[in-house]
Structure 1
């Protein structure tokens, strides 16, 4: 399967619709209209106009398109769609706005609406090359290779200096085994920008599929020498090693990628394939599971392909009746992170987690792994150990208390050694909620994650913001776990949980520990009761929230009663 560098779409790269009147040079309107202006200066000028309500009509549409573009860069696609829709209402012929909104729709998992916007943009301006490229990306995700090829060719025709058109067409030609055509496209891309990393990154795979391994490794190694932590290039080199049959070299690279970023979907999927070829099916399943579960509606193309492989292979390697008949075995992992090294400590989580662990043992859980103050590596080790236990159980429950929040549309649990100097550091220093979902995923019946972690983000005051990530200061974002999974937040998405005062346990953990011990309360109703109790205890300041549900054809009880 082709692995690629995820530089696939483009946003604000062509001229915006400009009103007829010529303003004085140097004022906000002139800068906002000027697509050649410094990006930050242009953003500031457009925001000044919008905030002061000093712009109307097509000029306001231009300003809104700049705001929408910035929102997309921050992964705030929902507000980008709202903003760009306002711009479209003001200027229905603005193809740039349609192209941008199409990208925002795509990144919220709404490909049909994205295609509609790209098509309408091209109807408005048939020679606008960028929407052809972006439409081609969706065709490629759908595996409609000829349609993708045609779109990338049109993008090149109308914008021949647009490098992504060339590299994306090279990728399609590689999939279609037109290797000479792919290499010719990479050569054209090099004429535009010989330093663009997506050229060597993707050509590495092309050479590998051609069996030209020396050239393939030369391309991948060239990137890694300059960027030793480039997990995309490391994953590509691992894949070339797999093609060559050198499984040990592939495993070494996938391990290296996961040491840099333990949440990396491509590395888990690729390593799963290595372990499967080595006949280590238990480890293969574990890696496939770590790559298979998604809480977001959009993956970049290479991640989407890796996740699909993991889902298909996990299904193939999972027995229809794992471990024989249901055993009634229940296992839990209970984590309390409080001794944070780089922000203020939290006294409650270790205490709350010990209370929950004790209650779970009291109600008959056969295995309760209780740990506190986990660093990043120990956190992932604990998840791996627990996933092995979950594979042999009917119930798998994870309870986590500590810092946790959303950054860039992804929910993270925070190890005690995280520094998070830059918002994007969460990708490599924190634990994506998807990985916790994966840890309970092997259980036969109940797969439950309980998060008493919806606290203010203490890293926010000093954290550097980047253009590519949107920082959320409070709590988690809402999620849609897959069928058979239940995730409970101590506080509703976007809100924060309250810690206990003067050494008391938190309201959520107190209510949870009390209700778990009550006989004959079905699990769905139990969390409704916990919600109501916390809502009352906090005088309507905190409302727990549940997402998903256990399997619907059976009732589940912490204490069944007689």
Structure 2
């Protein structure tokens, strides 16, 4: 399933979620316990549609997608179905239509499966963990810095803590070694948890349906032959969380297509 800018995604998704909420299958996710398996399949939420940019600093000083996420996390009573549609609607409002969020095609089924999940207040018996990963310093690359992303890191981490997450880790501008180490540690942490969240942002691109996050430690060459050497595939990051109930990936970066030819 693929949505374009002209389709009312929040409305359609909201209808699906309401229908699914009454289904006997909706609560099945709550029957799992940490350690039952390799973890639930990741659900990806994107700050923009394929081929589109995102704003580093919107009206509230950061990415409108981050602002929408923070506002929703601060709500005292929130289910996953309301959260999913609210994230899309609020991001569009805060960006004045510039950003139209998206959810991965493979994730639609998981969004429906989890619509009965209670996000706030957090159930006392559940363990929830998060990692906020930001690339904002591009002094070593031929790309502009992202000061809004740096500010969003603290704002999002604080919101997750207010929402009752048991452990929230922050990682900013890591080199390759630190990134690999942090992701391994987060995998181990999330394996003992019910729900894991990864928020990742920075300059990003999309090539043939795959999203790549660009670190800022070396010049980024707009050649597809350098893609694997100079970027971090989002799916590689998304495979790190291994919580038993839900693993949610929020990607705040752009999804531009940079290669016209080599």
Query: Which has more radius of gyration?
Result: 1
TM-score by length of 1: 0.23
The structure with the greater share of residues assigned to helix is: 1
The structure with the greater share of residues assigned to strand is: 2
